[in-house]
Amino acid sequence: MSKLLEKMSTAILEGEAEKMPNLVKKALAEGTSAKEVLENGLLVGMQEVGVRFRAGDMFVPEVLMSAEAMQAAMVVLRPELAASGHKQIGKVVLGTVKGDLHDIGKNLVGMMCEGAGFEVVDIGFNVEPENFIEAIKNHQPEVIGMSAMLTTTMRAMGHTIKAIEEAGLRDRVKIMVGGAPVDAEFAKRIGADGYGSNAPAGAELAQKFVGAA
């Protein structure tokens, strides 16, 4: 790995968003391909973030800073990847279910999924079942991710899955759920395909759904 790519992964680990645009531009100017910057610089850093977070060596505020660093890099890199014909591994639609206004966890999953190579469509929070259905029709994702942070809004996940079934779209997508009150047993009970206990786990689950992990 080149020194610049090492600096990128370190800057992501340390959450140094302000450094990322210049590092990416410099690497591209020196002839490093956009794909190599993504895979050998940015993703290396984000994968290590996931490892440390699961081990309890990083906490949510630090992961958010790392995710912001990844986002800062992607602002520069995304057009270069598109121009080079780089193919993403799939598409994920994410939303916090109806009645719930919490989105930090969802945002983290989105950043981790983008870091894993997905195109991420974030449809926000307090999302009605009809909006999930519309997103499936419009964006044709492989994966739907639903978040709920309140015990009172968990039920909306089941209602949304039922609505997707009734719309005849259930077999088109894999559905993963997550959030503080959610667990694997609940996910199974409402008919979801999987449960992510945290942001890295959600991104890994999405990768498994598309055969990339």
Are residues 109 and 188 part of one domain?
yes
Give 86-128 pLDDT, tens digit per residue.
778 999 999 999 999 998 889 889 988 887 889 999 999 999 9
Domain limit, last residue, from 32, 63, 83: 83
Average pLDDT value over all residues in the chain: 92
Are residues 138 and 189 part of one domain?
yes
**pLDDT > 70? residue 1:** no
Domain limit, last residue, from 83, 117, 133: 83
**pLDDT > 70? residue 213:** no
Write the CATH number for 15: 1.10.1240.10
The pLDDT value recorded for residue 192 is: 98
Q: Which residues span the domain enclosing 14?
A: 3-83
Give 117-157 pLDDT, tens digit per residue.
899 999 999 999 999 999 999 999 999 999 999 999 999 99
Q: What are all long-range contacts of 15-19, with beta carbons under 8 Å and residues at least 24 apart? A: 15/62, 15/64, 15/65, 15/66, 15/68, 15/69, 16/69, 17/65, 17/68, 17/69, 17/71, 17/72, 18/72, 19/69
Give 46-75 pLDDT, tens digit per residue.
888 888 988 889 988 898 899 889 889 989
**pLDDT > 70? residue 181:** yes
H/E element holding 118? strand 118-122
Are residues 101 and 42 part of one domain?
no
Are residues 139 and 59 part of one domain?
no
Give 79-92 pLDDT, tens digit per residue.
888 788 777 899 99
The pLDDT value recorded for residue 38 is: 87
pTM: predicted TM-score of the whole model, two decimal places: 0.80
**pLDDT > 90? residue 200:** no
Structurally, the chain folds into a number of domains equal to: 2
Higher pLDDT, 195 or 78: 195
Dihedral of CA 169/196/106/51: which sign?
A: negative
Give 31-40 pLDDT, tens digit per residue.
999 889 988 9
The pLDDT value recorded for residue 168 is: 98
Are residues 169 and 68 part of one domain?
no
